[in-house]
Amino acid sequence: MQTQKFLILFLIAIFGCISVSAQTDDVIKVDSSIVRLNVGVADRQGRPVTNLSRENFTLFEDGVKQDISRFDPTVAPFSVVMLLDMSGSTLGFREVIRQSAFRFIDALAPEDRVAVVEFNDRVNLRNDFTTNRKSIANSINAANGRGKTQLYKALDFALGKLSKEGNRRKAVIVLTDGADSSLREVDRNVLEKVNETEIANAIKPEASAGFNAILSKSDTQSVTIYPLALPTGDPSKLAEPTPVQTALYTASRARLQMLAERTGGTFNAINRLEDMGRIYATVAADLRALYTIEYAPLDTNRNGKWRQIKIEVTNNELISRTRPGYFAR
């Protein structure tokens, strides 16, 4: 009798573990054979066009037409990570950051889920994904800190959070001066090894392993990244900027630009603090105007090579924007 009872308990435990494991896999599983694109469409005046259907789009990979397997209209909800730079360089205008972030949240759709993350020396999750606007507002109000700028650790953390958001559309909005402390030290070491005449072109922004890891993860999940670049650290505003200062700043801004272009987002330079709220609202409007298209590439060879993507719209007067391609890993 005891043996039979033990066997029943053992089987219950085994099936219970299998059930929990299956539920976990359902949450985080990403089909790497499917390519997902967030696509923006505008007219010649730059006004978003949001009333298109699947039949209005034609998709090519390396010049070969692909079959669109899934189409989400612009009203489909997003999961958004809001990254707030709380390093020492932003101490002077925290209230402007908060008010601008509130404006961004107000412009999102009610069904959009938002996680708020602050970063400086550390990366800190203020709130996990939620549609509760009060919780999000409390997180924005509470965001604080000082110290260094761990931008790419924060982006890696954000992508990790988004990987658990299943099949939802995904985006990261990152407010930063772009001067990642760790990468800046790597760049500085490069400059120390070259002559002064070579400084301007010595740093190759795209050569960083950490930076490329972020691009690869965003490719896999089809995350659109919108960098909002703060007007701090610009050496052109100094009386006598050094070549090293200029080279470091140029490299950090170039990486932000690459993040946007590679993921289909937009790079937004905040030249005046009073423009921050408007730019945040513009990014929110851009999010609300994105279509999402999925396809299974006809070329199933995962050879690690770059695949170029092209989207065409039936109306030649319209202009489409998406990420330029991906590495078939």
Q: What is the pLDDT of residue 23?
A: 31
How many other CB atoms sit within 10 Å of the CB of residue 212? 14
The three-class DSSP label of residue 219 is helix
Residue 144's nearest CA partner among 120, 174, 167, 166 is 120
Average pLDDT over all residues of the chain? 88
Band of pLDDT at residue 11, cut at 50, 70 and 90: very low
Residue type, 122: R
Q: What's the token pair of residue 248?
A: 């470091």
Q: Which of 4-13, 37-46, 269-278 has the highest mean pLDDT?
A: 37-46
Residue 175's nearest CA partner among 237, 105, 243 is 105
Q: What sign does the dihedral 144-145-150-154 (CA atoms) show?
A: negative
Band of pLDDT at residue 3, cut at 50, 70 and 90: very low
Region class of 102: left (phi > 0), else alpha (psi between -120 and 50), else beta: alpha
Band of pLDDT at residue 31, cut at 50, 70 and 90: very low
Q: What is the pLDDT of residue 32?
A: 54
Band of pLDDT at residue 18, cut at 50, 70 and 90: very low
Residue 233's nearest CA partner among 85, 118, 129, 114 is 85
Q: Report the Cα–Cα distance between both ends of the chain, in Å, rounded.
A: 55
Q: What is the pLDDT of residues 290-318, one digit of tens each?
A: 999 999 999 999 898 999 999 999 999 99
Q: What is the pLDDT of residues 102-157, one digit of tens each?
A: 999 999 999 999 999 999 999 999 999 999 999 999 999 999 999 999 999 999 99
Please give the model's pTM, rounded to 2 decimal places. 0.86
Mean local confidence (pLDDT), 199-224: 93
Q: What is the pLDDT of residues 55-100, one digit of tens each?
A: 999 999 999 999 999 999 999 999 999 999 999 888 888 999 999 9
CA distances from residue 167 to 77, 106, 242 in whole angstroms, order as listed: 11, 24, 47
- 141 sits in which H/E element: helix 133-142
Q: Helices (H), strands (E): how many in the chain? A: 8, 14
Q: Please tell me the distance from the alpha carbon of residue 161 to that of residue 264, in angstroms, as a whole number.
A: 20
Q: Which domains does the chain have, with CATH numbers?
A: 35-74+290-327 (no CATH), 78-287 (3.40.50.410)
Q: Are 87 and 146 in contact (CB under 8 A)?
A: yes
Radius of gyration over every alpha carbon of the chain, rounded to an integer in angstroms: 22
